[in-house]
């Protein structure tokens, strides 16, 4: 069935360092890949997304890369700050011609140490 694997499960970095979270998906028909950030006790918030016709997208300190051949996408956070500490979820979906349900990875708990 549809599956998304996410690594690492926990990540601890020093403030100012970069953080990278990697995901691999199984459904080759997936065409939409969002990343959500969930702070403790709050709702998951979309921070960046990428569609299958694009290889890379950047928004300030956050970037996402997609390798469709390898069915692999990654989140890159540069110059990390303590407020980046949260659980990050990757997801994959077939949109437009399908239900659009999100298949999530297991989540990565990022801790940024001041």
Partner 1 sequence: EAGVTQFPSHSVIEKGQTVTLRCDPISGHDNLYWYRRVMGKEIKFLLHFVKESKQDESGMPNNRFLAERTGGTYSTLKVQPAELEDSGVYFCASSQVLGQGPTDTQYFGPGTRLTVL
Chain contacts with partner 1 (rule: CB under 8 A): 4, 6, 32, 34, 36, 42-46, 49, 51, 89, 91, 93, 95-96, 99-107
We find the least distance from the C-beta atom of residue 114 to partner 1, in angstroms, to be 25
**Residue with Cβ nearer partner 1 (14 or 97):** 97
We find the least distance from the C-beta atom of residue 72 to partner 1, in angstroms, to be 17
**Cα distances (Å, whole numbers) of residue 78 to 21, 51, 97:** 12, 22, 35
We find the least distance from the C-beta atom of residue 100 to partner 1, in angstroms, to be 7
CA–CA distance, 85 with 70 (Å, rounded to integer): 29
């Amino acid at each position: 069935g549809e599956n998304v694997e996410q690594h690492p499960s926990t990540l601890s970095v020093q403030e100012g360092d970069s953080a990278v979270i990697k995901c691999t998906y199984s459904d080759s028909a997936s065409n939409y890949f969002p990343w959500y950030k969930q702070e403790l006790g709050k709702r998951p918030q979309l921070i960046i997304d990428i569609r299958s016709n694009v290889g890379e997208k950047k928004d300030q300190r956050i970037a996402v890369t997609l390798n469709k051949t390898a069915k692999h996408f990654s989140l890159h956070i540069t110059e990390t700050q303590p407020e980046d500490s949260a659980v990050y979820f990757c997801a994959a979906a077939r949109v437009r011609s399908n239900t659009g349900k999100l298949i999530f990875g297991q989540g990565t708990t990022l801790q940024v140490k001041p």
